[in-house]
Structure 1
Amino acid sequence: MSAQSQAVPKQSWKVRYSVLLVLWLCWLFSFLDRMVITIALPFIGDDLSLNATAQGLLLSIFFAGYALFQIPGGMLADKFGFRRVVSIAIVWWSIFTTLTGFIFSYPLLLIVRFVFGLGEACLPGGSFKAIATYFPKSQRGTATGIQSTVNTLGPAIAAIAAAAIIGLYGWRVVFIIMGVPGLLIGIYIWLKFKDNPKDHPKITKEELAELEEDLDETPAEKKKSGVSFKELLKKPILWQMAAIWFFFDITFWGFTSWLPSYLIKEKGLSLMSTGLYSALPYLVGTVAIVLGGYLSDKIKGNRKWIFVPSVLAGGVALYFMFQTSSLTMVIVCQCLAAFFMFLAQGAFWGLVLVSLPAKIMASGTATVNCFGSLAGFVSPFLMGYMIQTSGSFDTSFIMMIAALVVAAVIALTINEKPKEDEIEINLENPKKAVAL
């Protein structure tokens, strides 16, 4: 039996790749379902007679629910397993995506978008836990970078698909259609995924050996895996990462939410041209975010030196974007801004996934992502208010640039290199804890 198993050639396609592929689809449809509203927003505003502030609130209310249930959703995934939580979550939000197309009242639409956000809040922590469960630590940055390409492809596909469907059938139909695939994916995860890799019928001994070797790297790492969520909340590095993600997402969600309206209202583009030009920066960002995750795995202990220059370069590109009057330069600058911001994002999440214990990965990553969700609530609404009061997008662009600078400054305070040694000491003797 042993000789036969040794004679079996190594499988090039591993179970963890299938897990990552399905997680990628989950994230793709989560972004499609939440981002089509950015293309539909001018038409919803006309249909329901909404001003810019009311439209901004419609974008932000999703993030109120999303932020509210991030940490509880992560804790549920840690307690009951990511399989149940992620599958129920995607079915939940898919139902409310479809319901969006049947709403004719602004207050009711706000409620539906809020409840939609509650369901989607369970995905981040659950999916990061799945990666931490199935991928060795040395590959988590790359895996997260690949998963995070939906941050780029989601808005790109949403921009093109939504523009085409809205142009043909109106804004309501796009929501009704988008809710269907998620139902199928949720059922598949419930039936096929396993919370413990050992229970997966197709996993090989080689894959399990890789995971076990990763867990047994050092005695200190074993101690680290036993840290509780309550203990994690006392670690400054968790709050440093949460603050970085908050300010970064002020820019990300402001950029993502209002870019289509900017191109339509400020640059006078047609609906279809807006869909195409809105997609370009995210297609560029797809390459950048994988590169950022890959570099995160290769440049251990120096991830902030990918993040900091990248976010600052993204801020410079945003500045030139709203300063130029040339449409060509607007498109070039928005693509450059997206490239550097997504490069930074890939590196950032590589840092997060190697800093947190796998046992509480869902709770930890959900805490970090919760702050991004709060930024997602604040930024679109605040930008809408700024646009309405000032009559232009200039002030809101300055806000986005300032937020990137603050994120870079906070990142400089992270001391990566001694962190692993310190956290090991902390867990061996909590009373002698050294602040990270």
Structure 2
Amino acid sequence: MNDQLQEQPKKKWKVRYSVLLVLWLCWLFSFLDRMVITIALPFIGEDLNLNTTAQGLLLSMFFAGYALFQIPGGMLSDKFGFRRVVSVAIIWWSIFTSLTGFIFSYPLLLLLRFVFGLGEACLPGGSYKAIATYFPSKQRGTATGIQSTVNTLGPALAAITAAAIIGVFGWRVVFIVMGIPGLAIGIYIWLKFKDNPKDHPKMTKEELAELDEDVEEKASKKKKSDVSFKELLKKPILWQMALIWFFFDITFWGFTSWLPSYLINEKGLSLMDTGIFSALPYLVGTVAIVLGGYISDKVKVNRKWVFIPNALAGGVALYFMLQASSLTMVIVCQCLAAFFMFMAQGGFWALVVDSLPAKIMASGSATVNCFGSIAGFISPFLMGYMIQTSGSYNSSFIMMILALVVAALIALSISGKSKEETVTLSSELGAEAQ
């Protein structure tokens, strides 16, 4: 009896949970490393004498590299395995994060942000491939939602941490410090991760059986082996998801990149208050993004209905934020906007991960994420230009609202399928390959 009691805790914690935890840390530091610049931006602009357009370009250069290497990075993970690609990627971008603190030239800073983006571009495809490899289909939405909490916690922690460090040591020190933890994580992944769950020394027979018993995986196992990335590119649903993510990220990266500057310049907040109030929407979003993934698993056959209403509600909240006259209402509306947008995001990536074949998950998800990266390049720079030319944030807010509406309309065009039909894209591809 005592032996049974001792064995129970071991059964509850599975290898896939450890994999998810480390992937979560990778994403956390990827967001910390890329987002501290949004708090540092006014000080970088003052130090280097940059207008808002130049500051916007500095934000966008990361996404230029990030977008350029998304698909190649995903293809590398499919070919060589996510372990090697993700470990090298995090070490790469961590080095360039620290180097940012030593740059005194604007052109060199632009180049460094571009190269930094190249490294982070390998993470999305590799991490989604890891989830598709280690998690059965019924848990992928929840796993993706948990991983995606870094989309909220990352900016929140970056805002508070950067504000505290910048207030005492200046903006350069925050970059130097942030690059250090990623080096240790990258080495750990290289030494401990396995691309095939069967090769992992701590993988139990029960956990392997769960993967083998995955109904969708088992039903389409033979078909998936014939699916290629070239065939995937012919499927309309891939481009629908890519366009949805493009327009959604126009809003997400515009909101994330310029919120601190908006609070400082438009609402007159101090540096520390800006750090705290910038963090609030993302703390709220942490709950929302997990909830979105969880609900998506519950309504699996029509995951798009988690995305559509929440994306539209996020646009409504942004409109009221723009119209709000008091600081209290601004904070409330920005938290509501974040809640609905992150709920939509949790549902969306659950749809992506469950729709794409595991064999080419990295390439497929990287293609979708690439469009978001392109949006990340366009949005901060375009918003900076709009702010400079108009002298206000009004036009940029309208752009963000319209982008969410367009994303919801495109999601509406994705056809739902009944339980009797095969839901996944992989089975559709396999049917064509027969």
TM-score bin, normalised by smaller chain: over 0.9
Provide the residue aligned with 1:269 in structure 2. Answer: 269
* Distance 1:393-1:181 versus aligned 2 partners, 3 A rule: same
Given that residues 194 and 200 in structure 1 are in contact (C-alpha distance below 8 angstroms), is that contact kept between their aligned partners in structure 2? yes
Looking at structure 2, the residues matched to 23 and 53 of structure 1 have their Cα atoms a distance apart, in angstroms, of: 34
Letter in 1 for 2:422: E
Provide the residue aligned with 2:136 in structure 1. Answer: 136
Provide the residue aligned with 2:401 in structure 1. Answer: 401
Looking at structure 2, the residues matched to 271 and 251 of structure 1 have their Cα atoms a distance apart, in angstroms, of: 24
Looking at structure 2, the residues matched to 119 and 421 of structure 1 have their Cα atoms a distance apart, in angstroms, of: 34
Provide the residue aligned with 2:51 in structure 1. Answer: 51
Letter in 1 for 2:230: K
Tell me how large the CA RMSD over aligned residues is.
Answer: 1.7
CA shift at 1:430, angstroms? Answer: 4.2
Classify the secondary structure of the residue corresponding to 2:104. Answer: coil
CA shift at 1:420, angstroms? Answer: 2.9
* Distance 1:222-1:33 versus aligned 2 partners, 3 A rule: same
CA shift at 1:44, angstroms? Answer: 0.1
Classify the secondary structure of the residue corresponding to 1:375. Answer: helix
Provide the residue aligned with 1:434 in structure 2. Answer: none
Looking at structure 2, the residues matched to 416 and 357 of structure 1 have their Cα atoms a distance apart, in angstroms, of: 18
Classify the secondary structure of the residue corresponding to 2:422. Answer: helix
Residues 302-339 of structure 1 deviation map (CA, whole Å, 9 limit, x = unaligned): 21111111011000000010111110000000000000
Equivalent runs, 1:25-424 vs 2, <5 Å: 25-214=25-214, 218-417=218-417, 420=422, 423=425, 424=427
Looking at structure 1, the residues matched to 402 and 33 of structure 2 have their Cα atoms a distance apart, in angstroms, of: 29
Looking at structure 2, the residues matched to 355 and 308 of structure 1 have their Cα atoms a distance apart, in angstroms, of: 17
Residues 131-167 of structure 1 deviation map (CA, whole Å, 9 limit, x = unaligned): 1111001000000000000000000000000000000
* Distance 1:421-1:54 versus aligned 2 partners, 3 A rule: closer
CA shift at 1:220, angstroms? Answer: 3.4
Letter in 2 for 1:414: I
Q: Which runs of 5+ in 2 are unaligned?
A: none
CA shift at 1:416, angstroms? Answer: 2.6
Looking at structure 2, the residues matched to 125 and 11 of structure 1 have their Cα atoms a distance apart, in angstroms, of: 29
* Distance 1:430-1:230 versus aligned 2 partners, 3 A rule: same
CA shift at 1:92, angstroms? Answer: 0.1
CA shift at 1:217, angstroms? Answer: 5.0
Q: Which runs of 5+ in 1 are unaligned?
A: 432-436
Normalised by the length of structure 1, the TM-score is: 0.95
Q: How many residues align?
A: 427
Looking at structure 1, the residues matched to 38 and 430 of structure 2 have their Cα atoms a distance apart, in angstroms, of: 45
Looking at structure 1, the residues matched to 322 and 373 of structure 2 have their Cα atoms a distance apart, in angstroms, of: 25
1:428 is the counterpart of 2:431: yes
Looking at structure 1, the residues matched to 263 and 428 of structure 2 have their Cα atoms a distance apart, in angstroms, of: 53
Q: Which is worse superposed, 230-239 or 421-430? A: 421-430
Classify the secondary structure of the residue corresponding to 1:50. Answer: coil
* Distance 1:99-1:217 versus aligned 2 partners, 3 A rule: closer
Structure 1's consecutive aligned runs of 4 or more residues displaced over 4 angstroms after TM superposition are 7-10, 215-218
Looking at structure 2, the residues matched to 221 and 85 of structure 1 have their Cα atoms a distance apart, in angstroms, of: 25
What percentage of aligned pairs have identical amino acids?
81
